[in-house]
Amino acid sequence: MLTLFPWQEGVWRGLPDNRTLAHALLISGPQGIGKTVFAHRLGMRLICEQGQACGVCRSCVFAGKGDHPDILVIKAEEGKAEITVDHARALNAFLALTPHLAERRVSIIEAADQLNRSAANALLKTLEEPPAESFVLLVSHAPARLLPTIRSRCQQISLPKPSRSLALGYLKARGVDQADAALKIAHGAPLSAEGLPKDALSTAFRLLETLEHLVRGVLDAATAGEGWQALDLAYGLSLFTDILADIVRLATVGALSEPFPGDWETRLRRLASQLDLQQLFTLWDEVLELHGLADAPLDRRLIWDKLFLRFEQLRAQ
């Protein structure tokens, strides 16, 4: 049985009934809040014999196991960064068929922002003239990457982050240690927080210590970079960005947006007083650009060396 997360129930109750849903729906929101689960639950509702994702009818049982013949899931192949035109053609052919068990056919495109240009154009033709009783559910945390013509043909379903209290309640019920810190590192997304490595908090403090040593001259950039190339680059860049963001917030607003364990704030406040903030904003932009290259085959050691060298150069003169 596909179960919604507590923070999704309000949006679920506000959905139109199956008869008035658009044939194409774009389910968007931040990473780590369960958009894919929501999409699969909606797919179940669309093929349910009771029209409500009852969980007990034959269609729901098949859907819950992931093998309903009238639901097709499209996503990038493992190790690939794109959904290709072949995927889109398979989707179009699937939707054109007569349903086997249900009254309609449903395709779910996970991480739809990974559609390449050819795939997007092929999908657009189906969205312009959808087969009868067919639905396409697109899931994306970056809907701006989709073609505007695709977005304009979709009914929008926006899933927000849960409140802090709701997210913390979920994480504590799941037995997540240091739930407060995990939620901050994951930018308020509880599923991302749940999936963090167990050493996430110690890694964040280790990175902070490395930056402190660079500013004090205890380490040089080349030496500092030796211990970081094994870390997942996207995860490391996210931690680096968070530290920069906290420094900026302390220097401008005077307080962090959320509490963090230990002496994190005290140490960051001290670090902020030693930096050229104008140059820090430039570094922040550079790190954000690197986020888009995190999956590319780059030399991670060179990236960390560059980042630490740039941070070392932020020392106020």
**Rg for the chain (alpha carbons), in Å?**
23
pLDDT category, 225, cuts 50, 70, 90? confident
What does pTM read for this prediction? 0.88
> CA separation (Å) from 233 to 84, 103, 125, 239?
25, 45, 37, 10
pLDDT at residue 41 greater than cutoff 90: yes
Domains of the chain: 6-160 (3.40.50.300), 197-312 (1.20.272)
Tens of pLDDT along 296-311? Answer: 667 788 889 999 999 9
- 1 has pLDDT over 60: no
* The Cα angle at residue 264 between residues 283 and 314, in degrees rounded to 5: 25
- Name which of 139, 146, 189, 133 is nearest 164 in CA terms: 189
Q: Which of 51, 52, 96 is nearest to 72 (CA)?
A: 96
Quickly tell me which residue has 């560059």 as its tokens: 306
Phi-psi domain of 178 (left: phi exceeds 0; alpha: psi -120 through 50; beta: other): left
From residue 34, alpha-carbon distances to 19, 31, 72, 192 in Å are 25, 8, 19, 9
Tens digits of residue pLDDT in 62-90: 999 999 999 999 999 887 889 999 999 99
- Could you read off the pLDDT of 240-249 as tens digits, one per residue? 999 999 999 9
How many angstroms separate the CA atoms of 118 and 128, rounded?
Answer: 16
